[in-house]
Amino acid sequence: MDVLDSQLPALAIHGLVKDVGPLPSLDGRMLRVVSDISLKAHAGQVTALLGANGAGKTTTIECAQGLQKRSGGTISLLGHDPARAGADLRARVGVMLQDGGLPPSARPLPLLRHIAGMYRNPWPVDDLVSRLGINDFSQGTVRRLSGGQKQRLALAAALLGRPEVLFLDEPSAGLDPQSRQLVFDFIVELRDQGMAIVLTTHLMDDAQRLADYVYIIDAGRNVAEGTVAELLQRDLRRDSTQQHIRTLFVEGPEKLDMGAVLSGDLHVVESRPGSYSITGSLTPADLAALTAWWAEKDIMPTSLRLEARSLEDVFLDISAKEAS
């Protein structure tokens, strides 16, 4: 792959439209589940589609995988139209479906060996199995696996063809904390090796931890995009009344009247007795005033934590604006 090639996106979706139906519940009319979604995913990057359930994320990536026929727009997957994908294009693309798509009566190892046979040069099953910790549960049937075990097996199945593009639909669904760490570390490793990874999630934390570039999807259209840092910054700048929004969490004695020493535009809430959040354009002067007041009153907080806005705040803001 030369330099020019590597600049072409592995996946490019432009103006995607998807109608489903006709639906009896709509008097036989079609329902537009995706009205205008565009995105690009590059090799060596994790691209996240972030949105609430029903926003159109799964529909979008299923159109990109060739599982659903699009109603409009263009999709280029490794330079080909996925709607007319042949076996050789499918061999270069790995898919982990939201529901796993593994037969409940199958045993993990024979199933992986079977799927590996579909590729001329598969990833060695033994290596994948040890990396994803599948050995621990390879004896039972798929039916008896926990949610996290099923997800790890589904990820292994998606990787058997050493794909150039990997689709992960809600990869952290059902994962216990250990599985989650293992799977996330593996995803980062695959990205660093040059894989283009496209994932959908409704969890801000997933996007914040994994994504190099995020598309926020709502009601079947793009509403925002950027790196996680850009999204956090951009929205701060856009709304001048919310400059440098931060939240200071304080644990300490009950019923402190901290609002009295802070500037008026800060929002102080005692959510539980002794547990406060101070939100707004916190300045160093605010912090100095606060600590000086504690020193004067001999108050020692048990916990202090300062947080910038999270992606979740951005997402909630955008969703609220869309709704209004």
Partner 1 sequence: MSALTIKPGAASSLPRRILLQGKYEATTMITNGEQLILAIVLPLLALIGLTVTPILDDMGASRINIAVPGVLALCAMSTAFTGQGIATGFDRRYGVLRFLSTTPLGRTGLIAGKILAVLAVLVLQVVVVAAVAFPLGWRPDGGAWPSAVVLLILGAAAFTALGLLVAGTVRPEATLAITNLMWILLGALGGIVIPSERLPLALESFVQFLPSGALGGALRDAFLTGTFNGAYALTLLLWTILAGAAAIRWFKWN
Residue ranges in contact with partner 1 by CB under 8 A: 65-67, 87-88, 90-93, 95, 97, 99-106, 114-115, 117-124, 127-128, 154, 157, 161-164, 189-190, 193-195
Is the CB of 154 or the CB of 278 nearer to partner 1?
154
Is the CB of 99 or the CB of 307 nearer to partner 1?
99
Cα gap 217→36, rounded to integer Å: 10
Is the CB of 148 or the CB of 161 nearer to partner 1?
161
Which residues are paired to 201 by β-bridges? 50
10 Å Cβ neighbour count for 110? 11
Which residues are paired to 96 by β-bridges? 168
- Minimum distance from residue 176 beta carbon to partner 1 (Å): 22
Cα 140 to its chain centre, rounded Å, is 30
- Minimum distance from residue 14 beta carbon to partner 1 (Å): 22
Is the CB of 144 or the CB of 244 nearer to partner 1?
144
- Minimum distance from residue 22 beta carbon to partner 1 (Å): 14
Cα gap 214→48, rounded to integer Å: 5
- Minimum distance from residue 27 beta carbon to partner 1 (Å): 22
Which residues are paired to 246 by β-bridges? 280, 308
- Minimum distance from residue 102 beta carbon to partner 1 (Å): 7
Three-state DSSP state, 104: coil
Cis peptide before 22 (omega within 30 of 0): yes
Paired tokens of 278: 């101070």
10 Å Cβ neighbour count for 169? 22
- Minimum distance from residue 123 beta carbon to partner 1 (Å): 6
- Minimum distance from residue 195 beta carbon to partner 1 (Å): 6
Torsion over CA: 173, 177, 183, 185 (sign): positive
- Minimum distance from residue 162 beta carbon to partner 1 (Å): 5
Is the CB of 181 or the CB of 193 nearer to partner 1?
193
Is the CB of 187 or the CB of 207 nearer to partner 1?
187
Is the CB of 164 or the CB of 317 nearer to partner 1?
164
Cα gap 8→41, rounded to integer Å: 9
In degrees, to the nearest 5, what angle opens at C-alpha 177 toward C-alphas 210 and 187?
30
Is the CB of 87 or the CB of 229 nearer to partner 1?
87
Cα gap 270→146, rounded to integer Å: 40
Strands across the sheet with 267-272, in order?
267-272, 275-280, 246-251, 303-308
Cα gap 211→173, rounded to integer Å: 16
Torsion over CA: 110, 115, 120, 126 (sign): negative
- Minimum distance from residue 43 beta carbon to partner 1 (Å): 9
Is the CB of 49 or the CB of 195 nearer to partner 1?
195
